């Protein structure tokens, strides 16, 4: 694949090498070095900093379909990663146009500098439309992204590395992004001219199992009137229940839900026996489904973007949602006591479930990401009502 028009004069200091041997040349950005991952595309036109710091993207290289990424710069407020010491979220980023200087009053740093600081390798100047079409046709490929200012690459070694990478199927990445200690989260949502504040109270105690949780999910739980305690992904059901939760939250996260489910599903099954209200998002949704007896499957191209329409069967409404997942719950395997509550209007895949007669539900998409902008915030209120009724 050739560089995009207008980039022939720039030095080709970066390569994207796919597992089938395809080599794509571009201009390097961000960190120098190499990284392996699964290449996906994201259709969002805003929120690139949140996307690049979402732990759910661990193990992936993100191609943005919107050509102008970086024009509003970066700041310290929009980072979604809670565990800053864990492995970085996205392993690489691919964009069409070169990064312009920031043009937003909240910007504190140029995106290129920010990528360097976080150790994320970037590549620009390629035809991202062609790469997106390739992913649509052939699925999300494994690849190596490489940046070298000297423009010298051992392509045979990079091809071998891309071909040898096992991919995300069977990979448990939650252990790499989860917290290593229990802590209380108090920060509330961002307010204009005020930023973030803290809540010192919460009538309902929610224990959040952290499989790669995003900050804004925790903020919305606090805003809904919850005292939030975050625990590591491997926390036992006995340890969770010892905290005396009024509700349990299963967070988003990266990797194969079946792999993470090896240790998480037995915990969730034990928690289900207590009838404590449970709410899951993304990976948490998938693992709740596994705990209930359903199965998950790897998607062809996944859902990554901020413009995904979802039909809520419980309200009859259509929500514009933010999505980031390469695995999905197989709706055909849901047991009789589980209701499918939400479906994607793009492809009909499962996007939500609820256990009949129990205060237990989950969704595949990200209600905290606000693409609607607040189409899905009712889910946090629904969780709180379950807690109050229980």
From CA 300, how far away is CA 313, in angstroms rounded? Answer: 25
Q: What are phi and psi of 130, to 5 degrees?
A: -65, -40
From CA 280, how far away is CA 250, in angstroms rounded? Answer: 4
How big is the CA angle at 368 (ends 363 and 371), to the nearest 5 degrees? 100
From CA 213, how far away is CA 81, in angstroms rounded? Answer: 7
CA 23 distance to own-chain centroid: 27
Lookup result for tokens 């992913």: 135
- Give the containing element (helix H, strand E) for 40: strand 33-42
Please give the sequence-ordered ranges of beta strands (E in DSSP) within 60-104, or none if there are none: 60-64, 92-95
DSSP state of 315: T
Please give the sequence-ordered ranges of beta strands (E in DSSP) within 110-225, or none if there are none: 121-124, 142-147, 183-185, 204-210
Look at strands 92-95 and 121-124 and give their pairing: parallel
The strands making up 247-250's β-sheet, listed across from edge to edge, are 183-185, 226-232, 204-210, 247-250, 278-281, 360-363, 350-355, 338-344, 295-312, 318-330
Strand partners, 353: 340, 362
From CA 328, how far away is CA 17, in angstroms rounded? Answer: 27
Please give the sequence-ordered ranges of beta strands (E in DSSP) within 218-337, or none if there are none: 226-232, 247-250, 278-281, 295-312, 318-330
Q: Which residues are catalytic?
A: 282, 366, 368
Lookup result for tokens 């994207």: 16
Contact 215, 189 (CB under 8 A): no
From CA 202, how far away is CA 172, in angstroms rounded? Answer: 33
């Amino acid at each position: 694949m050739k560089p995009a028009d207008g980039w022939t004069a720039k030095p080709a200091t970066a390569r994207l090498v796919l597992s089938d041997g395809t080599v794509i040349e571009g201009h390097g950005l961000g960190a120098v070095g190499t990284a392996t991952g699964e290449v996906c595309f994201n259709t969002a036109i805003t929120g690139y900093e949140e996307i690049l710091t979402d732990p759910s993207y661990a193990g992936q290289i993100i191609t943005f379909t919107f050509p102008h990424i970086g024009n509003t710069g970066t700041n310290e407020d929009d980072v979604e990663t809670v565990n800053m010491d864990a492995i970085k979220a996205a392993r690489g980023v691919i964009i069409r146009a070169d990064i312009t200087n920031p043009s937003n009053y909240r910007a504190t740093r140029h995106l290129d500098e920010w990528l360097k600081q976080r150790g994320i390798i970037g590549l620009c100047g390629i035809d991202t439309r062609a790469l997106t079409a390739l992913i649509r046709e052939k699925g999300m490929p494994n690849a190596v992204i490489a940046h070298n200012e000297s423009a010298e690459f051992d392509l045979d070694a990079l091809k071998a590395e891309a071909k040898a990478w096992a991919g995300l199927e069977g990979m448990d990445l939650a252990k790499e992004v989860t917290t290593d200690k229990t802590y209380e989260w108090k920060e509330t949502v961002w307010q204009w001219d005020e930023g973030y504040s803290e809540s010192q109270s919460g009538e309902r105690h929610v224990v959040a199992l952290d499989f790669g949780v995003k900050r804004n999910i925790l903020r919305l739980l606090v805003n809904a009137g919850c005292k939030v305690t975050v625990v590591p992904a491997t926390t036992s059901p006995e340890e969770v229940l010892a905290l005396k939760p009024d509700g349990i939250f299963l967070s988003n996260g990266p990797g194969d839900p079946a792999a993470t489910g090896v240790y998480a599903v037995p915990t969730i099954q034990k928690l289900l026996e207590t009838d404590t209200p449970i709410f899951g998002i993304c990976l948490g949704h998938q693992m709740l489904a596994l705990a209930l007896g359903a199965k998950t499957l790897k998607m062809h191209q996944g859902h990554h973007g901020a413009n995904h329409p979802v039909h809520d069967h419980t309200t009859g409404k259509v929500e514009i949602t933010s999505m980031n997942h390469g695995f999905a719950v197989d709706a055909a395997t849901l047991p009789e006591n589980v209701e499918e509550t939400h479906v994607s209007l793009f492809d009909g895949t499962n996007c939500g479930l609820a256990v009949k007669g129990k205060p237990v539900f989950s969704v595949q998409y990200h209600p905290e990401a606000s693409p609607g902008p607040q189409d899905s915030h009712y889910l946090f209120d629904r969780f709180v009502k379950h807690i109050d009724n229980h």
